[in-house]
Structure 1
């Protein structure tokens, strides 16, 4: 007879995959599954996905982990479900909760004019006072203005706006809510009052009624409906906990919710997430200021749009999109190249850039290329360029008198010893990795464990579940060398910004 073990199900609605993970009461992963997702790109800046695909892939991922768990020596009983997902991506529903159009994703760059309009209508001072964030392409509010101006019939049909994890949870429970971490990243939310901003909605002439109620990340948001439970092999009535946006939920999984720690995430995009218990926005709003999943905490975040995607792009052009060449083999070649890539520097702005430039016209650049450079130099230069781009966010935070003691690396950048060492040397901070890490999906399972009342706090779960591997320590000689290269890197964008704008006008 099998021993009974309770478990928590964490689900991450990512851009490249839906991930489901089953975690037991001690934090051990019983089973995990990734279901790959497709992205719709009709031109260079439009990036969309079908929310129905998210839902179908979620059902498949849950079914798969349930089947995998059934093969273990334990009888697994899921007692709580938590969700997370990509931020900013807009799910637009009509009065019957049918999808109005494909979701416009976080990496979409079509809203430059709408961002300018928001900046002009609200102004920098009121942006600071109401939102604590600057309008940038990919955020939710500019997408609503774009819809209103370019697809008025679809805008008229719009009755409910949801974020990706909220849509999937609605399909699970029939309940429509969001949490503070996702709401705060829409540019429609007052980060000081922790509520939707009536002032901003009125200024932008957007209806208040389309926005869902907001609850805490660890609050219950309904229970699993019977028809859904039947489809994926679970019991009906399992509590479904609200969850949160993927970056802060990932930070929950890596224990990054105290000052002095930074979460560095190198996945499709790249982020530096820096928690704070005191809201202090930078004067130019170059860093995002959002609400953390831990109550009464915020975080500042810098974002680059093409991190792991830059290495993927390089692999595709060097080897072909159908090549089976692994990233590990590419990185192995790059290990033979000295820091600085023999004078080759890469700007990873392949689809525009967020922090600190907020420029949808920005493009990728190799500078310093000469006849002795090899494929391995290109790979290392891309890896270094991604880290230089992330360092821009660190420098802004330091200007606010923040000090840091440790980087905790997640995403694909945490899996490579070389990429961890480059981060340690570029940031001049030790880089540690979570020993058992399934990304934001694991963080969603943590939120489920707290929301289901098996634990009293996020801190309690993380202390019990999370362990860390040995750090990659910065090498003082390499740090000094990278400081010089970073100084050159910082001067490149201002030198070519005007050329980016001219190129964009020619190609458009």
Structure 2
């Protein structure tokens, strides 16, 4: 029997783990996803059990490999949700549920970092501001509120790194994911001794860091038996989901811009040196390719805003979708398309989960401005699409302030499959978009990293693009561009205009 060479890409996501099997020509031969839950034991908290990730990885890998008896797996690559804290004791056991990326309980620790280390100093050392999302603040929360557990820590990992440890027995982290810990010198691609010393975090807890396509271990015989694979397969470091997702889209060189419409929204620009926003409104991270970095702005609730709308307001559309066997989002897109730009004077602020770019405010709140009697659900959904698009333009405007120009935009994620949404977004940012059918998301980037690690691909753009296909093009609608420029100017006033009211509401609801 002729054996077919392949690589695996494993993505440890927030809602589930996805495993894909990719042939050496880039063809996806198999895939499977296993879901798990997120616990929210208190307001603002978000936790997951790392063993749920592990069990999902085992099951998804078994399913992805099912009935493929002639596979010769050459390497395994990883992607994963960023920032989540996985603290281990001396025996490699998890000390507590992981405090994941969207947990915002650590505002107190973020403020304390600004007061003790200094905001400007932190940005100077790490290229990033102290935000509740970053791993360091979660670690300091453990120090303050779970001191007995904190004293037992011997290693700190991120979500995908824990699964890689379970597969290989080796502690490791990649430069892209480490960039989101607030303990990493992004410009020098190494741990920051200064940040460790300033915060009291033992540098011995931090694992060795590698480039994303470096081989950092090999599949153990025991783990291989669980997955249905032989031991000894090379395993690469991998990358956080944003870096891996960009690689999977072919966003590799300066001038390439990625707009991701997932639960959160991201505008990411590749750079050949570590640029930073002096106000800390953007994140500056190492890319998953050598000698490459990226800056990105984040909207906390992009696709999440539309998902929230669907869950709260789209019961009729959901029923119709079930009866017609269509996706409910197709109905929502049809409703949005039936309304003129501006939704007849209705504006949506998408700050349902607080906001990162540009406001850096975990207490920001969303809402509609301008509701009138004549507005119906079609106006509401159109305003959601426009509000998220304006929020992502906020990120793009700051990226432009750094002198970054664009030669190519690629849009991906679930939201990018909505034609009307992409027409709105293209008109808001005044850019031509290539809509990529990246149904396998960061897992595909993880597979590319695995292929690079064992020499199937190299880091040149030509090599990576040999696995990729082009998507359809969406251009700005000229008759919308000027109007959206004017409406964007109004949108930019919404956060400041509502801030005092939101502050009072937050105080009353505590």
- Structures share a fold, TM > 0.5? yes
Corresponding residue for 2:406? 404
Give the distance between the partners of 2:488 and 2:336, measured in 1 at CA.
19
Is the aligned partner of 1:395 residue 2:397?
yes
Give the distance between the partners of 1:68 and 1:239, measured in 2 at CA.
22
Is the aligned partner of 1:294 residue 2:289?
yes
* TM-score where L is the length of structure 1: 0.96
Corresponding residue for 2:461? 459
Give the distance between the partners of 2:76 and 2:392, measured in 1 at CA.
33
Give the distance between the partners of 1:456 and 1:407, measured in 2 at CA.
23
RMSD: 1.6
What are the ranges of 5 or more consecutive residues in structure 1 without an aligned counterpart? Answer: none
* TM-score where L is the length of structure 2: 0.96
Deviation of 1:434 (Å): 2.7
Whether contact under 8 Å (2:183, 2:191) holds in the other structure is yes
Pick which of 430-439 and 476-485 moved more.
Answer: 430-439
Deviation of 1:414 (Å): 1.9
Whether contact under 8 Å (1:132, 1:289) holds in the other structure is yes
What are the ranges of 5 or more consecutive residues in structure 2 without an aligned counterpart? Answer: 322-327
Give the distance between the partners of 1:273 and 1:436, measured in 2 at CA.
16
Give the distance between the partners of 1:68 and 1:355, measured in 2 at CA.
46
Corresponding residue for 1:386? 388
Give the distance between the partners of 1:439 and 1:461, measured in 2 at CA.
19
Whether contact under 8 Å (1:173, 1:223) holds in the other structure is yes
Deviation of 1:385 (Å): 0.9
Pick which of 463-472 and 121-130 moved more.
Answer: 121-130
1:417 to 416, 419, 422: 419
**Mapping of residues 199-238 of structure 1, within 5 Å:** 199-238=194-233
The number of aligned residues is 503
Pick which of 118-127 and 444-453 moved more.
Answer: 118-127
Q: Which runs of 4+ in 1 moved over 2 A?
A: 319-325, 433-437, 455-461
Corresponding residue for 2:250? 255
Q: 1:133 to 1:390 in 2, by over 3 A?
A: same
Give the distance between the partners of 1:401 and 1:322, measured in 2 at CA.
44
Whether contact under 8 Å (1:40, 1:49) holds in the other structure is yes
Give the distance between the partners of 1:450 and 1:79, measured in 2 at CA.
11
**Mapping of residues 436-455 of structure 1, within 5 Å:** 437-455=439-457
- After superposition, what is the alpha-carbon deviation per residue over 1:82-114, rounded to whole angstroms, capped at 9, x for unaligned? 001001011111111111111011111111111
- After superposition, what is the alpha-carbon deviation per residue over 1:289-332, rounded to whole angstroms, capped at 9, x for unaligned? 11001111110010111111111111111145995652222222
Is the aligned partner of 1:13 residue 2:12?
yes
Corresponding residue for 1:137? 132
Corresponding residue for 2:349? 347
Corresponding residue for 2:121? 126
Give the distance between the partners of 1:331 and 1:323, measured in 2 at CA.
13
Give the distance between the partners of 1:61 and 1:379, measured in 2 at CA.
35
Corresponding residue for 2:324? none
SS in 1 for 2:252: coil
Give the distance between the partners of 2:442 and 2:77, measured in 1 at CA.
10
Give the distance between the partners of 1:130 and 1:179, measured in 2 at CA.
18
